[in-house]
Structure 1
Amino acid sequence: MVYSLTYRRPSYVTSSSSSSIDGDEKQRRSSLESGSSGLSAGIPEALSFDKIISGGVCPPCTVRDFMNYLKYIEYSAENLQFFLWYRDYVARFENLPASEQALSPEWTQAQAEAEAARGGRGKQTNPQVSEILNGTDFADGQGGKIDGQADPFHTPARSSTSVDKPRAPSEYASSAGDHTFASSQGAKSVASQAFGDAGMKWQPFTMQPYRDEISRIITVYIADGAHRQLNLSAREKQALLHALQNTTHPSAFQGIANTVEFSLRKQAHPNFIRWTICNGNRPRVIFARGLGIFCIVAGFIADLLITLSHAGRAWRVLPIIIWILGFATLFAAMKGMCVVLHGLHHRHLRPWELFSDDADGMISEKAMSHDSLVSSSTNSFEDEPWIPKYKKRNIIRKIFDRQIWIDEPALRQIQDTIFLQSILGAFVISAVIVGIFCAVPHGNLF
């Protein structure tokens, strides 16, 4: 079974094509498109973004394959890492008791606009938190005021002689590949620096749930120079820090969550599907293109010799077989497919998969765990052992690298469609060329 013969694989999407849309428009479009069904922009419903994230697909289209693509090909794994953390954080927050959730009220759009209008002139206590603490022992301490009472969470500013310069994230973070948490003290220090750079003071309510984790997230994804720093505008970053001054409710992240999700849905996901359709590595695809061109040239030479000879016109039809093979191979290779691998429904192993074993599969799953998503390790892979090993492989070995069966039925269906399109296109072009040769008079040269 194949898709329509008019099927076109997803177009390559650049970051500039969606960067001019604001957050609200991104949220609206993303919600509309997430509910669509059928074949959309060359992506079937079985390979939709939501299907992949929910784990409803088979290799090589799983969320782990998606993560590997973003890490090794697009160099933007931080978007998917933050997105997965945020989904997990929302679920964990919703499972908290109501009494703990009440400490971190929802951050509304009206509050966001009010904070933006204030321009970051320090922190004001959220009135909902003030109401919760009013009349309790926590309202009787020293420091700032909450509705006329002492704010136990206000920490007096240290003197200029005692304040140390905030250290860089790398001083607290683990080395690359280490998935342990950065220290709480280090995360808070870097968070303070991030707020200072934005002209705000970092005076969070320590009783709010997941406050330490929020500090780590700022250190890993938000602060300038963070190992997984998200590509956020100054306005988005400032709005987020304003919100996190007041609450740890997931709604504080809603703005950048919309931006990250829109980027994943509209850029990373279509590019991932387009890349996954390719069943051969680059050396194999280049080899397939060369083979297709060779067959086409051989067909022309054969038909030209027949035309110049005394042979009958019927003999001029024979090279059509070579032309069909050549054009079909070339057309498929232009879309990253090798017809030989497709005939077996195989694909080449990716370079980072070639030198792995079963134990590495467990390591990869661990890399998708919560601890890894909030760790301060980088997404750099220059030191991974497969890189020098793959570089040492000669070109012939790369062309005939190890193969593996394609498990995902929807992906095989897309490849079947592209293969059929290549065959039909090759047949039409070959028939036209043969017709032209048959119309040419005999050369009678030999």
Structure 2
Amino acid sequence: MVYSLTYRRPSRVSSRGSLNGDEKQKSINGSVNSGSSGLSHGIPEALSFDRIISGGTCPPCTTRDFMNYLKYIELAAENLQFFLWHRDYTKRFNSLPESERVLSPEWTGDQINEDNQTRAKRVNPNTAALFKGTDFASDPQVAEKEKINNPFFTPPRTPNDETKEARESMESYDESITSGGKTNHTQRTSGAFQSAGLKWKPLTVQPYREEISRIISIYIAENGSRQLNLSSKERNALLHALQNTTHPSAFREVITTVEWSLRCQAHPNFIRWTICNGNRPRVVFARGLGVGGIVGGLIAAILITLSSAGRAWRVLSIIGFLIGISTLIAAWKGMCVVLHGMHHRHLRPWELFTTDDEPSGFDMKSDSYDSIATQDTSNSYEDEPWVAKYDRRNVVRKIFDREVWIQEPALRQIQDTIFLQSLLGAFILSITIVGIFCAFPKGGYF
């Protein structure tokens, strides 16, 4: 069974950072609704984002494959790591006893404005009437004149000053790290809070405060090992919220940005990339075979046309055109028709050198995922052993790398559809080309 012949694989989605929070939330809701209604933007429901994250897919479309793609191809594995941690954290927080959950109240956006208003100096009306006409009156003109004449007046800090202070705070922290000093997660969290211009320490009696401190130092703080791509406004707002509560709602704005990036950018690109069943050398080799088949068909058609053979013999050249054009169309979409004939795919470079004795690095079924997500380690892979080993492999060996069967039925169905489209397109073009050659008169040269 295949999809419609008008099927188109997902388009490559580039980064779009100009959307605000409401627009991103609408995109997320639209993605969820369209994903549950069948085929959406070249992605079937069986390969939807929620289906992959919930573990309802088979290799090579599992959560682990998605994580590997983000780590090795998109270089943005921290988004999925943080998203999975937040989902697990929300579940654990909601399962806490009521007596512990009340220590961390829900955080709303209105609280930010309320906190800013409470910082402003408020004068009691009775007090203002009492000091009216004196030097202590809070008259705006008097206050402005006092600012000019008072040599000890300190002007309010500008956002640039706060940014400078935040940068100096983080630089001083980095210097303490590079100098060999031992700094724990709590100390780094304090530096992260200071980078937002907030001075008071968070409440330590709130549930999961230590875990939140680790998350801040890894994903939120500047120069964190898995720092998220957040704006300064989003980072400061999140740090301000986490100083007051450890409730999952404190991450609402940030998790919206992360989820939008995963659903609307990374997920379509992952499906598009997964459709390719061969590595780049194999796809280039398949394109060469396609061009060779077309050239072979042209040579056969020209020779038969120039010979004394009947016009019916010129139809034989359709074999070369059909094979060459179909192979070229499939290779243009990243598929090798030979591998597809067996429903095989090449192993990825990071999969080639993995043994059963080596840790996989990510396992959704593992009970220790929280420790994996909160590891203070970078997602960089340049030092992994497989990089040097794969670079030393010659081109011929890469073309004929190890293969494995594709287990995901929906992915095989997509590839069957693309293969059928390539055959249909090749058949139409081949008939057209052969018809042109059949229109020429007999050459009779040999």
8 Å contact 1:169–1:225 — kept in the other structure? no
Kept in 1: contact 2:218–2:224 (CA 8 A): yes
Question: How far apart, CA to CA, are the structure 2 residues paired with 1:15 and 1:394?
Answer: 34
Aligned equivalents of 2:194 and 2:378: distance in 1?
24
Q: SS at 1:347's partner residue?
A: strand
Residues 20-419 of structure 1: pairs in structure 2 closer than 5 A: 20-36=18-34, 37-115=37-115, 117=116, 167-168=173-174, 171=177, 186-360=184-358, 362-365=360-363, 369-419=369-419
**Deviations 1:80-102 (Å, cap 9, x if unpaired)?**
00001000110010010001100
Using the size of structure 2 for normalisation, the TM-score is 0.84
Q: Structure 1 204/100 Cα, relative in aligned 2: closer, same or farther at 3 Å?
A: same
- Residue 443 of structure 1: how far off its partner (Å): 2.5
Relative distance call for 1:217 and 1:166 in structure 2 (3 A) is farther
- In 1, the alpha carbon distance for the partners of 2:408 and 2:119 equals 50
Report if aligned partners of 1:169, 1:190 keep a CA contact under 8 Å in 2. no
Contact 2:79–2:258, Cα closer than 8 Å, also in 1: yes
Q: What is the rounded CA distance, in whole Å, between the counterparts of 2:67 and 2:403 in structure 1?
A: 21
Question: 1:311: Cα distance to partner?
Answer: 1.5
User: Residue type of the partner of 2:54?
Assistant: S
Matched-pair contact (CA < 8 Å) for 1:166–1:189:
no
Distance 2:79 2:232 in 1: 17
Compute the displacement of 1:119 (Å).
11
* Contact preservation (8 Å) 2:27, 2:264: no
TM, length-normalised to structure 1: 0.84
Asked whether the equivalents of residues 280 and 341 of structure 1 are also in contact (C-alpha less than 8 Å), the reply is yes
Shift of 1:207: 0.5
Tell me which amino acid in the other structure corresponds to 2:348: R
Change (3 A) 1:289 1:118: farther
Decide whether the 8 Å contact of 1:80 with 1:264 is kept in 2: yes
Task: Spell out, residue by residue over 1:375-397, the C-alpha distance to the aligned partner (whole angstroms, 9 max, x if none).
Answer: 11000111111111111111111
Q: 2:170 touches 2:222 (CA, 8 Å); kept in 1?
A: no
Query: How far 1:199 sits from its partner (Å)?
Result: 1.4
- How far is the alpha carbon of 1:277 from its aligned partner? 0.4
- Measured after TM superposition, the shift of residue 28 of structure 1 is 2.7
Aligned-pair CA distance for 1:25: 1.9
User: Which deviates the most, 422-431 or 34-43?
Assistant: 34-43
Q: Which moved more, 1:282-291 or 1:191-200?
A: 191-200
User: Structure 1 residues 226 and 390 mapped into 2: Cα distance closer, same or farther (>3 Å)?
Assistant: same
Aligned partners of 1:100 and 1:208 also within 8 Å = yes
Report deviation, 1:363.
4.3
Structure 1 position 312, deviation (Å): 1.2
Report the CA distance between 1:164 and its aligned residue. 12
Shift of 1:222: 0.7
* Offset, 1:268: 0.3
Q: What's the secondary structure of 1:108's corresponding residue? A: coil
Is the Cα contact below 8 Å between 2:170 and 2:192 reproduced in 1? no
The residue aligned with 1:5 is 5
CA contact under 8 A between 1:191 and 1:202: conserved in structure 2?
A: no
The AA in structure 2 aligned to 1:342 is H
Label 1:169 to 1:408 Cα distance change in 2 as closer, same or farther (>3 A). Answer: farther
The whole-number CA distance in structure 1 between the counterparts of 2:360 and 2:31 is: 34
User: Is there any run of 5+ residues in structure 2 with no aligned partner, and where?
Assistant: 121-168
Query: Which amino acid in the other structure matches residue 349 of structure 1?
Result: L
For 1:114 and 1:430, how far apart are their aligned partners in 2?
A: 71
Instruction: Tell me the residue number matched to 2:165.
Output: none
207 and 96 in structure 1: CA distance in 2 versus 1, 3 angstrom threshold: same
The offset of 1:196, in angstroms, is 1.8
Deviation readout 1:120-163 (Å, 9 max, x if unpaired):
99xxxxxxxxxxxxxxxxxxxxxxxxxxxxxxxxxxxxxxxxx9
Pair 1:35–1:63, CA change in 2 (3 A): same
Q: 1:64–1:368: 8 Å Cα contact kept in structure 2?
A: no
Distance 1:61 1:165 in 2: 41
Shift of 1:212: 1.0
Provide Cα deviations, 1:265-322, integer angstroms capped at 9, x if missing partner.
0000000000000000110000000000000011111101111222111111101011
Distance 1:196 1:97, change over 3 A: same
Q: Structure 1's 435 and 377: CA in aligned 2 closer, same or farther, altered over 3 A? A: same
RMSD: 2.2
- Whether the 8 Å contact between 2:78 and 2:226 is mirrored in structure 1 is yes
1: CA distance between counterparts of 2:276 and 2:367? 25
AA partner of residue 383 (structure 1): D
SS in structure 1 of the partner of residue 291 of structure 2: helix
Q: Distance in 2 between matches of 1:275 and 1:112?
A: 42
Distance in 2 of aligned mates of 1:67 and 1:351: 15
- Residue 165 of structure 1 deviates from its aligned partner by 8.3
Structure having the higher Rg: 2
| SS across alignment from 2:184 | helix
Query: Counterpart in 1 of 2:134?
Result: none
Determine helix, strand or coil for the equivalent of 2:277: coil
